[in-house]
Structure formats: C-alpha cells, structure tokens
Amino acid sequence: MCGILAVLGVADVSLAKRSRIIELSRRLRHRGPDWSGIHCYQDCYLAHQRLAIVDPTSGDQPLYNEDKSIVVTVNGEIYNHEELKAKLKSHQFQTGSDCEVIAHLYEEYGEEFVDMLDGMFAFVLLDTRDKSFIAARDAIGICPLYMGWGLDGSVWFSSEMKALSDDCERFISFPPGHLYSSKTGGLRRWYNPPWFSESIPSTSYDPLHIRQSFEKAVIKRLMTDVPFGVLLSGGLDSSLVASVVSRHLAETKVAEQWGNKLHTFCIGLKGSPDLRAAKEVADYLGTVHHELHFTVQEGIDALEEVIYHIETYDVTTIRASTPMFLMSRKIKSLGVKMVLSGEGSDEIFGGYLYFHKAPNKKEFHEETCRKIKSLHLYDCLRANKATSAWGVEARVPFLDKNFINVAMDIDPEWKMIRRDLGRIEKWVLRNAFDDEEKPYLPKHILYRQKEQFSDGVGYSWIDGLKDHANEHISDSMMMNASFVYPENTPATKEAYYYRTVFEKFFPKNAARLTVPGGPSVACSTAKAVEWDAAWSKNLDPSGRAALGVHDAAYDDPPEKSPASANPVSDSGFRQALGESVLKTVDSATAV
C-alpha cells in the first residue's frame, strides 16, 4: 500500500511551496517506506510514497505514458493489468508496475476507462496537454482517499487526512466508486452495479458458483513479488481465505519465488477465542503459523497512535484497529509486506449477529446494501490504515467486484437466518464450502458462530477499554457532551475518550465530519436498530450486544435512568447489574 498526495492549481509556485508539499507527503511515509517521488508541472504537484509489492526494482512513481505528457500517482493494485496491457498493443510500457496501465488506458480511452480496472486503487492523473486532471477511487473504497480545497483555489487529494488537513480550508472523504474530473468540476459515480439500487434480486442460490467466484477472487490477489501471508483469526471468513490460498498456492507464480508454505498470523489476549481457533485451523491446513499476544495495557498504551493513524473516533473501528495495528508491526518485523484478510463477508452475507432479527428478506437485503456502501468508513478504513501504519498491504478477496455481484444477486431469502431449517448466519457461504470429499475446513470451524474481531481477541479487551475510559471521563463531562461536541455527540465514556484524542490530532470541523455517527448495536446501521426494541437500550457495537443471539451476550439492560449520564457502557452500570458473568465461548468467530 502506498501514499499519494496531489496538489493542483496552487497560487504559489515557489521552491518553498514545493518543499512544503514534500514535507506533507512525508506524513504518509509509513504507507510507503520504500521510495519517494514527486512530479512538478507548473502549478501542479503529484507526490508518492511507495510500498513496493509488484516490480520492486523499476516501478517507482509517479508513472507516465511514453512521452510523459500524462502523469499518474497511484495507491493500489490492478489485478487485471496483464489483460489490459494486451488491449494496448500500440503502447510501450516503461516498467513492470501493474499501475502503469492507468496512464495508457487514459491515453487510449479518456476518462471512461476506470470501470475497466479490476483491483483496489486511489489515483490522481494529470494530463499536461490541457492541464486537466482526474481522481478516482475503487468501487468499495478499499484504498483511502481524501479531497480538499485550499483558500488559493487549489484542489488537494491525499491517501490520508493528515497530509492535507492543515493546508485545506475544507476536506471530505472521497466517495468510493466515484471519479472527479477537472473538466466538469464535479464528482460522478463510475461504479453502478445492479445491487446498488437495493432492488430485491431473485436469482436462485448456486453454491458451486459462489465457491468458484471466491476462489478466483483469492487467487488473483496472490499477485506479488514480495513475501506475503494471511491474517487468520480462526473465524469463518479468514479461515476460508487461508484454506483457498493453501489449496492453490503451489499453482501460482509466487510459489516459485517464496515457496509453497503459507504463513498465517493471529493476535489476541492469552487464552482468547481467536487464538485457539486460529491454531486449530492452521494445524489443519499445515501453515507456518505465528501466534502473537498483547495485553490490555499494551493496547491501551497504543490508543493515541492508533487514532492518529486510522483517523476516526468510531468506537467499533478503534476497538478492532488496535490489535490489528499491533499485529501489523510484528508482521512487518518478520519481513512480510502483504497480507490477505477476510473483511467484507459479513456485510455481503448478513453475517453480523443482529441479522438474526431481520424481519423479512427485503429489509435483510437493504441492510446488506447499506453496509457495503459504508464499508469505506469502517472495516476498509481499519484494514487499510491499521496495516499501512507499518508498511503492510492488506488485500480483501471478499470485496472483489465480480464476487460481490455474484453474492448480491442471490435471492436474499437464502441468506435469511432460519434456525428451523438449520441455517445460521452466512449459511450460503458455509454451505458453498462444505465439501465432504475434499473438506476446506473442519465442520465445527465452518459452522462456528460469528464473533467480531474486537471481541474475538479476548472479551476483557473491550471491558478494559471501558474501564480505562471511566478513569478519564467524568460524569459531569458526559452531561455536557452535547455542548462540547454538538456533532456526533459521544453517547458513552469510551466514545468521549476517543473523541478527545481525535480532536487533539484533527481539530478542524471538516475532520470530525468525515466520521459517521448514529446509533448502532453489534455493528448495525441506525435503521436496523429498529428491528428489536430491546436494542435501543443497549447501543454497543460489540457482538455481545446482540441480546438473545450471541452465546455470551450481555445481560438484558434495565430501563434507562434519566439521571444516569452513561448507563450502558460504564463500569458503574455493570456493577449495578451485579457484573455479568459471561460464558466462556468455544464457538466465536472474527473476520
């Protein structure tokens, strides 16, 4: 994963301005520690911090067409670059980089080429022939991108907010699946799949089609010239990724370079559900498994750095990003620069435990659509920035464009959780890989209950975070929260604590508006909270907040007291309950 910064149309073209842009680009060096580059053309600057995954020797950026009239700075991977190059026989390529194809596609097809790209990407392209430029972000928003405006009329683009927040009067999170063109001066959506309208599909469930589509999505992501691994939590999604890689690794080009032994990585508190399950899966698949541990205190000590890197104050994201951030540091120390991960499956298949309460297939399907559309603000943001903080790239096969189209075209009646028919959450995915002759996974792993990553690393992690927040945030601070933070007012002491840290690094109003808000239970959208009246009294993003569903659910909360500033999340409430005794769960999964 790389870092890009583009500044176009600046009023000041002095050497001091160039130095300032280089200085700002350095704020992204954690994303790309391997090389730095900058291209200056009149009042336009394109800078790049490179993490070399494909063609490490010659693929430095920015990249160009043959006569260097078209310049592009890219963060991402284009998995079908060889296929696209075959369509550009009249063009001469200067590097082996998969991203160089973008400059030539623009030269050949103009602005309408973006939908031809199969991959994850955020890029800015400058056409020096007429000094026009475009910027685009991948379909789901796997790669982060921000857009800002300077007081001098300049337009800014950056992989992370920290590189433009000080110099822009206003900035936004660039919407996924969109393209900005300087010729029209506006954004337009280039990604228009059938599911985007949220109309109810009627295609019958074909388990073999699901399996084959996912295997193709995994295999294409093994495009690498550097060592790689798989993040393995022991849950369904990451276990399937590891299983498919193990099954096909020997057939790939990467096996010739790095061998056919897969490395897997898991992190958790000692004795956590994830560690046990991940080891069992790793043993079953025969991977070289790396079990990493952290303590609650080590996680708490890292919180400020985590919030600085992931650029959010969302509670769920911070809870899950912290162990992922710590794990990525260890992974990089072992010489691994790319990992595959299991994000996206729960959104596509309705895998979160609150989907048990979906009243009908229409609401089920609409909720999955809403969840996919907002992934760039949550799980994609976490997976990308928590790993990129240490120069590691995360690839997410469940968010393959073709696989999403296949999975979202299924009649949602098949995805509904039907205990009377033996269908638990994500049954359509589990059943697709339930192969009696050549099993992908042990049955009890294949049918293990969903556990969110922040829960699966150890339940005491979230409890420790709440206790830490209680020590720093007083009841009087909570009573005045709506005055101090009128936008997205923190509803819990934990949320308030994260907000104070975020505001220290990103004090502008534009920064706080890049973070979503609204009530949530077990990672639901605000709309899905309406599915169960009890949830409105237990608004916590942990999977254990799915009362009556999770095997280790929180106790049912009492009626909310008007005098209580923080009735659900603080330790005082837990003591009032008599401190819930949570069952030990042997069946819990993370992403």
**Which residues lie closer than 8 Å to 472 by C-beta, 6 or more apart?**
493, 497
User: Mind spelling out the 3-state secondary structure of 504-542?
Assistant: HHCCCHHHHCCCCCCCCCCCCCCHHHHHCHHHHHCCCCC
Write the Ramachandran bin of 225: left for phi over 0, alpha for psi from -120 to 50, otherwise beta. alpha
β-strands 338-340, 228-231 pairing:
parallel
Q: Which two tokens stand for residue 299?
A: 């996680």
Residue with tokens 């900005």: 180
Q: How far apart are CA 445 and CA 439, in angstroms?
A: 11
Q: How far apart are CA 285 and CA 297, in angstroms?
A: 33
Sheet containing 70-78: which strands, arranged edge to edge?
A: 63-64, 70-78, 119-127, 132-137, 178-181, 186-189
Catalytic status, residue 369 = no
Q: How far apart are CA 76 and CA 139, in angstroms?
A: 12
Q: How far apart are CA 490 and CA 303, in angstroms?
A: 17
Give the CA distances from residue 193 to residues 198, 224, 472, 503, in Å, rounded to whole numbers and listed in that order.
10, 28, 46, 37
Is the CA virtual torsion 466, 470, 473, 475 positive or negative? positive
Catalytic residue among 2, 266, 369, 380: 2
β-strands 228-231, 63-64 pairing:
unpaired
Q: How far apart are CA 103 and CA 421, in angstroms?
A: 52
Q: Which two tokens stand for residue 18?
A: 């160039």
Neighbour count for residue 439 (Cβ, 10 Å): 14
Q: How far apart are CA 346 and CA 235, in angstroms?
A: 11
Burial 231-242 (b: 16+ CB within 10 A, else e): bbbbbbbbbbbb
Catalytic residues: 2
